A = this chain, B = another copy of it.
Amino acid sequence: MKKLTLALLLLPFLGKAQSADEAMIKKISDEILRNGKAYDLLHQLTKQIGGRLAGSPQFAKAIQWGKTTMEQQGADKVWLQECMVPHWVRGGQDKAVIIEIDKNKTSHALDVLALGNSLGSGTVTAEVLAVDDFAELDRRKDEAKGKIVFYNHGFDPTNVKPFISYGQTGIYRRSGPSHAAKYGAVGVMIRSLTESAANDPHTGAMAYNDSFPKIPATAVGPRDADDVWAMSKKSTLKMSMTTNGHFLPDTIGHNVIAELTGTEFPDQYITVGGHLDSWDVNEGASDDGTGVVHTIEIMRALKAIGYKPRHTIRFVLFANEENGLRGGTKYAEEAKAKGEKHVFALESDAGGFTPRGFSLSVTKEQMAKAQSWLPLLSPYGAFEFTADGGGADVSPLNRTFGIPVGELNPDQQRYFDIHHARSDVFEYVNKRELLMGAVNMAALIYLVDKYGL
């Protein structure tokens, strides 16, 4: 009887606590799905500004657009945080042409893009050494001297999560050039990091090892990669590869930071962000225009419904993720220098597809707490927290303060069709999928703001 009474006494309270959260998340979701501006803002960013590699005029324009847009969408405060960014330029049209097959002249043009940060000063012409992976190159290192090494290492289609494949093959893009230069190669071409059936090449950042010559490096479209691989098995190929990538001096860039000021803990910060820079060859719609407009949308929606956060929530458009991580690094450095107290940071940098959950870098206890929220989140799409991460831009906060960080985990089956390729354009983004990402992120931010993590 006593037990029953206690249960009866507790019931309304428990019921109320539960339904207050449910009601708030429903309110957030309705606001975003009914009045969301993310899709229109993405149209502005991609079509009026376009590709915006750090240091480019479009990047400068994007910073101003970000500041103005955050102000228009109701931020309590907006400012620009200066940080130096690298200024790599492509310098011309990248080309690769098979000019000889078994000493017979030919002119088989391939669709290539120079890798970001790679250096080129015109055309190199050399025989092709086609290898499947580093192990094969290591075995055949004596053949590499004076050659253009072609790494044909593709995604493993049996990985259910393409990000696993990206993790497995990314090293060929990042380190493949110096690995080949070590053996005397004069150029590198990698199979693009994608499973797409299209022939678009996919660029992305590489980094030279200063111990070896800095040889030019490109990514080739997957259909062309198949052709070159097949030809190389039967014949000796000679290729001309033209790239003109070079660095201009570092230049001034900015993180765009907006705040909704906390009512209880104004000096404790929750950060939500995406990165404003993109590659130069596309509109940077899914990488990371969607993260940018998720960030703005969450702020807009919380303001629109009159939400008063307990902590100060920072909405950050990071300056430079793609080829330097200077924006995220600067943000954490300044936070440390100012002695700021940060409690959580969440990024969107995996596209605007339907959310499936979040990846977190957290303790076991924090993971358990997050998982207790799944019944509140799953009606909106996020059904799992995985322990595999947090976005690149928020990782310096994690390293600096040891705070929990996370990243939206949208469906990833389509992401590498367009990642770093010319096809990363507005048209590939679906409005409802995009808005659902903002809904789930806003709901998680609300829960962390209310209960801590």
Interface positions of A (Cβ within 8 A of B): 29-30, 33-34, 39, 157-158, 160, 162, 195, 197, 354, 379-381, 383-384, 411, 413-414, 417, 430-433, 436, 439
Q: List 22 A-B contacts (CB under 8 A).
A: A29-B158, A29-B160, A30-B158, A33-B157, A33-B158, A33-B160, A34-B158, A39-B197, A160-B379, A160-B380, A160-B381, A160-B439, A195-B431, A195-B432, A354-B413, A383-B383, A383-B384, A413-B430, A414-B430, A414-B432, A414-B433, A417-B430
* Closest-CB distance, A217 to chain B (whole angstroms): 27
Contacts of A354 in B (CB 8 A): 354, 411, 413
Within the assembled complex, what's the spacing in Å between the Cα atoms of A160 and B355? 12
Within the assembled complex, what's the spacing in Å between the Cα atoms of A160 and B158? 31
Within the assembled complex, what's the spacing in Å between the Cα atoms of A228 and B383? 41
* Closest-CB distance, A200 to chain B (whole angstroms): 15
Within the assembled complex, what's the spacing in Å between the Cα atoms of A444 and B203? 39
Q: What is the oligomeric copy number?
A: 2
Name the one of B157, B158, B413, B432 contacting A162, with C-beta atoms under 8 angstroms: B432
Contact in complex: A431, B160 (CB < 8 Å): no
Within the assembled complex, what's the spacing in Å between the Cα atoms of A413 and B352? 12
Name which residue of chain B comes closest to A40, CB basis.
Answer: B197
Within the assembled complex, what's the spacing in Å between the Cα atoms of A197 and B436? 16
* Closest-CB distance, A183 to chain B (whole angstroms): 32
Contacts of A431 in B (CB 8 A): 195, 197
Name the one of B34, B383, B413, B417 contacting A157, with C-beta atoms under 8 angstroms: B34
Within the assembled complex, what's the spacing in Å between the Cα atoms of A98 and B433? 35
**Top-3 shortest CB links A-B:** A413-B432, A30-B158, A33-B157
